[in-house]
């Protein structure tokens, strides 16, 4: 088998539509172009880098009543949505809902690309709360709040509902704009 004509170091094993020859998997991934490679079996859409989305740090949020209230509105709506659905959301569902909200607010996606109806309905529910509670808040701040919520949720989760239990206990469900119910 011939070496990859791009890097000239590894064996070329993939048929490339760009150079019309066999290239290595690393060069295949590095040279992909959606307009040329979308028909290729190896093509994958680029993944969004949620870790690179602007976010407040946990210490910036801590003690800042304004930022905490924004976060509480979003997490309270997430908590209320969970209760409406019989407490079935696990942390991965909550994280996916937050990621799709980041897609809308940061990546400017117009449509939600998700198969699960519970996730899509969750996005719509939380988005409605954001429109009601945070209508005067800039997109940049909303994105940073969503970014820190995603970070905290990913850090808290271990096996299932650890993050959801925390927001149920310390945030409580949103019952109206700016109003949450903290259960004992």
What span, in angstroms and rounded, lies between the C-alpha atoms of 152 and 73? 15
Number of other residues whose CB lies within 10 A of the CB of residue 37: 17
**Which position has the higher pLDDT, 46 or 108?**
108
Residues 42 and 128 in one domain: no
What span, in angstroms and rounded, lies between the C-alpha atoms of 132 and 129? 5
175: three-class secondary structure by DSSP: strand
Q: Residue 119's pLDDT is what?
A: 97
Query: Is the Cβ–Cβ distance between 70 and 145 less than 8 Å?
Result: yes
The values of phi and psi at residue 98, to 5°, are -65, -40
Total residues found in the chain within this entry: 184
The gap between the terminal CA atoms of the chain, to the nearest Å, is 68
Residues 124 and 169 in one domain: yes
Task: For residues 80-91, give the mean pLDDT.
Answer: 97
Q: Residue 1's pLDDT is what?
A: 63
DSSP string, 29-92: HHH--HHHHTTSTT--PPPP-GGGS----HHHHTT-HHHHHHHHHHHHHHHHHHHHTTS---HH
Residues 109 and 167 in one domain: yes
- The Cβ-side half-sphere exposure at 80, using a 13 Å CA radius, reads 22
Tokens of 151: 């970070």
Stated as kind and residue range, the H or E segment containing 21 is: strand 21-23
Stated as kind and residue range, the H or E segment containing 1 is: none
Residues 5 and 96 in one domain: no
Q: For residue 162, give every residue at least 6 positions away whose Cβ sits within 8 Å of its Cβ, in sequence order, or none.
A: 91, 156
Q: Residue 159's pLDDT is what?
A: 86
pLDDT at residue 184 above 70? no
Residues 69 and 139 in one domain: yes
**Which position has the higher pLDDT, 118 or 177?**
118
Q: Residue 38's pLDDT is what?
A: 86
Confidence of residue 147 (pLDDT cuts 50, 70, 90): very high
pLDDT at residue 124 above 90? yes
pLDDT at residue 115 above 70? yes
Residues 143 and 161 in one domain: yes
Give me the number of domains the chain comprises: 2
Q: Residue 102's pLDDT is what?
A: 98
Query: Is the Cβ–Cβ distance between 183 and 111 less than 8 Å?
Result: no
Q: Residue 137's pLDDT is what?
A: 98
Q: What are residue 180's DSSP bridge partners?
A: 174
Residue 25: which domain range? Answer: 1-46
Q: Please, what is the average pLDDT of the chain?
A: 93
Residues 101 and 155 in one domain: yes
**pLDDT per residue as tens digits for the range 32-63:** 888 888 889 888 888 899 999 999 999 999 99
Confidence of residue 180 (pLDDT cuts 50, 70, 90): confident
Residues 58 and 91 in one domain: yes
CA quadruple 96, 98, 140, 57: dihedral positive or negative? Answer: negative
**Which position has the higher pLDDT, 18 or 56?**
56
Confidence of residue 83 (pLDDT cuts 50, 70, 90): very high
**pLDDT per residue as tens digits for the range 20-34:** 889 999 999 888 888
């Amino acid at each position: 088998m011939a070496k990859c004509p791009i890097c000239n170091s590894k064996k070329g094993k993939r048929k490339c539509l760009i150079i019309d020859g066999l290239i290595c998997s690393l060069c295949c991934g590095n040279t992909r172009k959606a307009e040329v490679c979308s028909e290729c079996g190896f093509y994958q859409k680029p993944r969004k880098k949620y870790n690179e989305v602007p976010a407040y740090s946990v210490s910036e949020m801590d003690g800042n009543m304004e930022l905490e209230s924004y976060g509480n509105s979003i997490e309270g709506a997430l908590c209320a949505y969970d209760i409406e659905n019989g407490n079935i959301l696990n942390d991965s569902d909550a994280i996916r809902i937050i990621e799709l909200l980041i897609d809308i607010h940061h990546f400017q996606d117009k449509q939600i690309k998700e198969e699960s109806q519970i996730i899509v309905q969750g996005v719509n529910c939380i988005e409605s709360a954001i429109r009601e509670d945070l209508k005067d808040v800039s997109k940049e701040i909303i994105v940073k709040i969503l970014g820190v919520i995603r970070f905290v949720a990913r850090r808290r989760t271990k096996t299932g509902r650890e993050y959801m239990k925390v927001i149920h206990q310390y945030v409580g469900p949103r019952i109206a704009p700016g109003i949450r119910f903290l259960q004992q």
